[in-house]
Structure 1
Amino acid sequence: MNRPSVPTDIEEFERALADSVSIATRAMPDSPMVSIALCDEKGLRTVACSHARAELLDELQSITGEGPCVDAIAGGEPVTSGDLAADPRWQRFAAESGLLSLHCEPLTSEGMLLGVLTLYSGEAGGFAEATHVAARVTAEHAGVLFRAALDAARMKEVAAQLKDALNTRAVIDQALGIVMAQRRCTSHQAFEMLRHVSQDKNIKLHQVAAGIVRKVTGEPPQRPRFEDPPPPRPRPRVR
C-alpha cells in the first residue's frame, strides 16, 4: 500500500484518534490495552493509547523492526494471536513483552496505509468477538478522520493561495492606476506595458508593479487586509 502525505496540521486528527481509542476501549468486554501508531519516516509513532505500557510495546517493535505491528503494516492485513507463548512468529517480542494475546488492525484510507491499531492483553485465548468488532470499527473510523483532516489541510492551502493571489492583484491594480494616469492610456494598455517590462527583465509581474508603486509613492504597496476566521473552540476530551 502507499504511504500517505500526512497533513501538516495533524494535531486535531491525533486528538480525534485519542477520543476514538477511549470510546473503543469502553466497548471492549475483555479490557485490552489499546494503541494507535502512525507510520512516519522513523517507523511507528504512537499517537493514542489507553495505557502507557501499550506505547512502550509499540516503541519496542518500532526500534527492533520486528513484531506483530510491523507485520500488519508490511502485509496490510490484520495480525492476531491468542497464545503468544506458543507462537513461533515473534519469540523475542513475546519474551520481552510478557503478553499472551494481541490483535493488530491496519489503518487505511483510500488504499493508503496510515498505521496500525493494536490490542494487547496478558490473558491467553484471544479476544471476544465484540472486541474484534470494536477494533474494526475504530480502524475504519480512523480512515474517515484522516480524509477529513486531509481535506481540511487542502482547504487551508487553497485559502492561503487565494489570499496571496488577491494581495498580488491589489499591487498590480495600484501600479496600473499609476501608469494609466502618467501615460493617459487604458487599463489594457497599461497592463501590456507592465507585461513587456516583466518579460524583458525576467521578473514577475507583481514585482514590476511593486517597483512602480514604491518609486512613485516612496513606500511599499498597500496590501488589503484579510481577517482570518477565529479558530474553532477546542472540543472537550472524552473520558
Structure 2
Amino acid sequence: MLNRPGAPADIEEFERALSECVAIAVRAMPDSPMVSIALRAEHGLRTVACSHARAELIDELQSAIGQGPCIDVLATGEPVTAADLGADSRWRRFAAESGLLSLHSEPLKSEGRLLGVLSLYSGRCGAFMEGTRVAVRVTADHIGLLFRAALDAARMREVAAQLKEALTTRAIIDQALGIVMAQRRCTSHQAFEVLRNVSQDRNVKLHQVAATIVEKVTGEPPQRSRFEDPPPRETGRTG
C-alpha cells in the first residue's frame, strides 16, 4: 500500500480517482502514450492505474530489476526523460527488456512529499514533445491536489468517528454519575471523583468503570446513544 505515515488508511477513493486521471491524461496528450501511475510501496512501486496492460508490466519490470526511470524519480524527486533509449546508457537492462524507445516519468508530490510516479511510455523515438511534457506536469500537479483532498476527507471521517465515540462514552459516564449521586446522596463533582478514584485504583478506563456500575444496578448494559450523520445537503435552485 501507499506509504502515508500518520494518515488514515482510508484513501481508496483517491486510488479509484487515479484511473480517471489516466483516462483524461491520455486524451489531453497529443502523442497518445501508454500512461501509468505507480505509487510508492513498502518495496518498490505499486501500479494503481494505467491506460494499457503493458504499462503496468513495464512498472513491474523496474521494481523487479531495480533500475529504470521510475526508480530514478523515487530516488531524486525529479522528472526523467529519454528520447532514444537505444542510445541511452542509464538503464541498459531495462531498455533491452522493456522494448521501449522513449519515455517520460514525472514525480507525484503533495505538500513536498513524494507519492509516486506518473509515467509515459512509447515504442518510438522522440515521442514526447514539449506540449506533452507540459500536460503531464499539469496532470501531476492535479493528482497532488487530489491526494490532499482525499486525505483531508479521510481525516474528517476519522475525527467524526472519534467525536461520536466520545459522546457515547460521555453518555455512559453520565448514567453512572446519576446512580452514584442517588446512592451516596452526593454532588455530581463528588460522584465523578468516586468514579475517577476507582478508575485509577483498578487501572481501568473511566467509561468502563461507569458501564460496570450501570450494568450492576440495572442488570443490563448501559444504553449507548445513537448519533446519526446529518443528511446530505440538497443543492439546487430555490424559489
Whether TM exceeds 0.5 here: the answer is: yes
What is the deviation of 1:153? 1.4
Secondary structure of 2:22's aligned partner = helix
Amino acid at match of 1:71: D
Instruction: Indicate conservation of the 8 Å contact 2:31/2:127, yes or no.
Output: no
For 1:177 and 1:95, locate their aligned partners in 2 and report how far apart those are by CA, in whole Å. Answer: 77
Greater alpha carbon shift after TM alignment, 184-193 vs 6-15: 6-15
Greater mean deviation of Cα atoms: 150-159 or 79-88: 150-159
Tell me, in whole angstroms, the C-alpha distance in 2 between the residues paired with 1:209 and 1:199.
13
Inter-partner Cα distance in structure 2 for 1:224 and 1:155? 21
Matched, 1:15 2:19: no
Partner of 1:168: 169
- Aligned mates of 1:72, 1:199 — CA distance in 2: 53
Match of 2:77 in 1: 76
Please list every run of 5 or more consecutive structure 2 residues that lacks an aligned counterpart in the other structure.
Answer: 233-239
Using the size of structure 1 for normalisation, the TM-score is 0.92
Counterpart of 1:143, as a letter, is G
Written as runs of structure 1 = structure 2, the 5 A alignment for 1:1-239 is 4-5=4-5, 7-228=8-229
Aligned-pair CA distance for 1:41: 0.5
CA–CA separation in structure 1 for the residues paired with 2:65 and 2:206: 54
1:66-104 CA deviation, whole Å, 9 max, x = no partner? 111101111110000000001011111111111110000
How many residues were matched structurally? 230
- Give the CA deviation at 1:228: 3.9
Deviation track 1:28-47 (CA, whole Å, cap 9, x = no partner) reads 11111010000010210111
Shift of 1:7: 4.3
| Residue in 2 that maps onto 1:236 | none
How far apart, in 1, do the equivalents of 2:135 and 2:16 lie? 19
Q: Is the 8 A contact 2:34 2:122 kept in 1?
A: yes
TM-aligned CA deviation for residue 230 of structure 1: 7.2
Q: Deviations over 1:115-169 (max 9, x none)?
A: 0000000110241222111100111111101111111111111111111111110
Q: CA deviation at 1:51?
A: 0.8
**Alpha-carbon distance between aligned partners in 2 of 1:11 and 1:4, rounded to the nearest angstrom:** 13
The one-letter code sitting in structure 2 at the alignment partner of 1:128 is M
Matched residue of 2:148: which SS?
helix
